[in-house]
Amino acid sequence: MNLSVIGAGYVGLVAAACFAEMGHDVICVDNDAEKIKALQAGKIPIHEEFLEEIVKKQHRVHLDFSTSILQAVRESDAVFIAVGTPPSENGEADLSYVEAVSREIARAIKLYPERYRVIVEKSTVPVDTNQSIRRVLLREGVAPECFDVASNPEFLREGTAVHDFLYPDRIVIGCDCSAAEATLRAIYRPLTDNVQGIWGAARLLVTSTKSAELIKHASNAFLAMKISFINAIADLCEKVGANVTEVSEGIGADSRIGCLFLNPGIGYGGSCFPKDVKALRAVAHSCGYEFGLLDEVMKINDARVKKFVDKVRSYLWNLPGKRIAVLGLAFKGGTDDTRDSQAIAIIQQLIHKGCKVIGYDPAAMPKLQAVNFPIEYAANAYEAAANADAVLVLTEWKEFETLDLDRLRAAINKPIPVVIDGRNLFNPVVMEAKGFEYASIGR
C-alpha cells in the first residue's frame, strides 16, 4: 500500500522504515528540513539498533523522505501522524503539532480528493482526539466520504524500537468504520498473517477509536505504576533490611503480576512515561474524576532524584569539590535520548551542590555536547572513573554490566573505591569481594 508517516522522530522514522521493510511504499515527512536532508544523505539522526540497516536498505526502494505533506498525502492510502505531543504546563498533552498537521493533511486531501484515505493517529493522544482531527478536516472543507480517522497507538520502546515494531505483543487498531479497519488490517497483514514467513503472527485487536486512544495512555500509566510500586518497595527494603531483588523476583513469579518492569532504581524518565501519566491524570480531571493513584505514582517518581542525591551525600559526606564519575546519561539503555532523563536531573543537582561531573554514555554524548551540557566528557567508563570520589551508574546500558571491575578499580585509584549503582546492575557480593564500597537500591 502507499503510506505516509508525518514526523521523522523516534516513532515516525522507525514506523516508516518498518512499513517499508514490510513491503509498503512509504514517504516519511518532517518539517525539519535539516533532518530530512540528513536522511536523504543516508544519515540517521537517532541511535536505534537495526534502524540504520533498514533505512539504508529501503531508501529509494520502498522509502523516501520529504518535507512536503502535500506530496506525501497525494500518493497515500493512509497517513500516519507521528509528531510530538509534549506536556503543557497544566499536564495536558499539547496537541498543537497534531492540529497543525491535520490542517495540512486537510488541504492536501482537498486538492487531491480522488481516493479514500485513512488518517491514523500514531502519536500518543488523549481519548477523543480523533473527533478533534475529524472536525478540523471537515471545517477545512474535506468531504466526509473522502476520509476516516483511526487510532493505531504505538507501543515500541526506544532502544529496541525496530524489534518491538516488527514483533509486537499486540497491534491495536481503533476504528469506528469497516473501511478504515480494512485498510489498517491490510497494512499490518505482513505482521499478523506471517505472509513472508519472517514476522510471526502478531495479535491484532480491533477496538473503538476511543478505546484505542485510552489503551495507549492506560498502558503507559500502568507500567509507570509498576516502576513506582517497586521503587517504594525498594525504599521499604532499605529500611527493614530486605533485598528488593529477591522481593521483585518473588512478586514477579506470580504470572498474574509478571516479572517485567519491576526493576527499582532512580525512577522512570524519557519523553513518554512522565508526560503520559500527567496527560491521563489531566484527562481524568477534565471528566470530573480525580485519579489520585496517578498522583502517587508521580510523587514516588519525582522523589527518586533527591533520594539518590541524598544517598550519594551519605557516602561522600560533603559534596562541594567532589569528583563524580557518571556512567550513563540517556534515560535508559540502548538509546541516545536524554529527554526527561533522571540521570540528567541527578547530575544537575550534583553540579548545583558544587560537584565536578565527568560523564560517559555509549550513545548520548554527541547530543549533549551539541547543547553544551556542562560536564566533562570521557571516552569510556574507565576514563570517566579516573580518580573519582564516587562512580555513579545511572543508565542500564548492557555494556556497563560487563565492565572489567579490576580495571575500574585501578582507574578510580583510591584505597576504597566507591560505586553507587542507581540501576542495580552489579552483584553486591561480587563488588564487595573486588574491594569496592558499593551501594545500590533496596539491597
CA angle 378, 402, 336 (to 5 degrees): 50
382 binds, among ligand NAD, ligand UGA, none (CB under 5 to 8 A by kind): none
Least spacing, CB of residue 265 vs ligand UGA, in Å:
5
82's contact among ligand NAD, ligand UGA, none, with CB below 5 to 8 A by partner kind, is ligand NAD
Minimum distance of ligand UGA from residue 423's CB (angstroms): 7
Identify the residue whose cell numbers are 505533506. Answer: 69
Q: CB of residue 253 vs ligand UGA: minimum separation in angstroms? A: 15
* Whether the Cβ atoms of residue 87 and residue 97 lie closer than 8 Å to each other: no
Q: State which of positions 152-171 bind ligand UGA (CB under 6 A).
A: 154-158
Residue 84, C-beta contacts closer than 8 angstroms, at least 6 positions apart: 7, 9, 97, 123, 271
Which of 19, 229, 308, 331 touches ligand UGA by CB under 6 A? 331
Binding at 7: pick from ligand NAD, ligand UGA, none (beta carbon under 5-8 Å per type): ligand NAD
157 in Cβ contact with 270 (< 8 Å): no
Q: Rank residues 29 and 51 by Cβ distance to ligand NAD and give the closer one.
A: 29
Q: Strand 170-174's sheet: what is its strand order?
A: 63-66, 25-29, 2-6, 78-81, 117-121, 147-151, 170-174, 203-207
**CA 248/CA 229 separation, integer angstroms:** 10
Nearest to 313 by CA among 243, 425, 418, 387: 418
Nearer to ligand UGA, 309 or 319 (CB): 309
For residue 297, the partner it binds in ligand NAD, ligand UGA, none, with Cβ less than 5 to 8 A by kind, is none
Q: How far is the CB of 205 from ligand UGA (least distance, A)?
A: 15
Query: Is 28 among the catalytic positions?
Result: no
Closest CA to 158 of 14, 341, 327: 14
Give the total of residues touching ligand UGA (CB under 6 A): 21
262 contacts ligand UGA (rule: CB under 6 A): yes
The continuous run of DSSP H or E covering 151 comes out as: strand 147-151
Please enumerate in sequence order all residues whose Cβ is within 8 A of that of 288, keeping only pairs 6 or more positions apart, or say none. none
Min dist. Cβ of residue 86 to ligand NAD (A):
8
Amino acid in position 335 = T
Minimum CB distance to ligand NAD, residue 177 (Å): 24
Q: Is 263 in the site for ligand UGA (CB under 6 A)?
A: yes
Quickly count: other Cβ atoms within 10 Å of residue 168's Cβ. Answer: 20
The contact pattern for ligand UGA, residues 66-95, with x = CB under 6 A and - = no contact, is ------------------------------
Q: How far is the CB of 227 from ligand UGA (least distance, A)?
A: 5
Q: At 251, list the grid cell.
A: 512478586
One of 28, 272, 287, 355 is an active-site residue; which one? 272
Q: Which of the choices ligand UGA, ligand NAD, none does residue 268 contact, using the CB cut-off of 5 to 8 A by kind?
A: ligand UGA
If contact means CB under 5 to 8 A according to the sort of partner, which of ligand UGA, ligand NAD, none does residue 12 touch?
A: ligand NAD
What is the rounded distance in angstroms from the CA atom of residue 279 to the CA atom of residue 275? 6
Question: Mask: binding to ligand UGA, 107-126, rule CB under 6 A, as x and -?
Answer: -----------------x--
For residue 26, give the nearest of 67, 78, 68, 70 by alpha carbon: 78
Q: Which residues of 84-119 are buried (b: 16+ CB within 10 A; e: fewer)?
A: bbebeeebbbebebbeebbbbbbbbbeebeeeebbb
3-state class of 250 per DSSP? helix
Tell whether residue 265 is a contact of ligand UGA (CB under 6 A): yes
245 part of the interface to ligand UGA, by CB under 6 A: no
What does the binding site for ligand NAD look like in residue numbers (CB under 6 A)? 6-12, 29-32, 35, 82-85, 97, 100-101, 123-124, 154, 156, 158, 271-272
Q: Which residue numbers are catalytic?
A: 272
Per CB under 6 A, residues contacting ligand UGA are 124, 154-158, 220, 223, 227, 261-263, 265, 268-270, 272-273, 331-332, 396
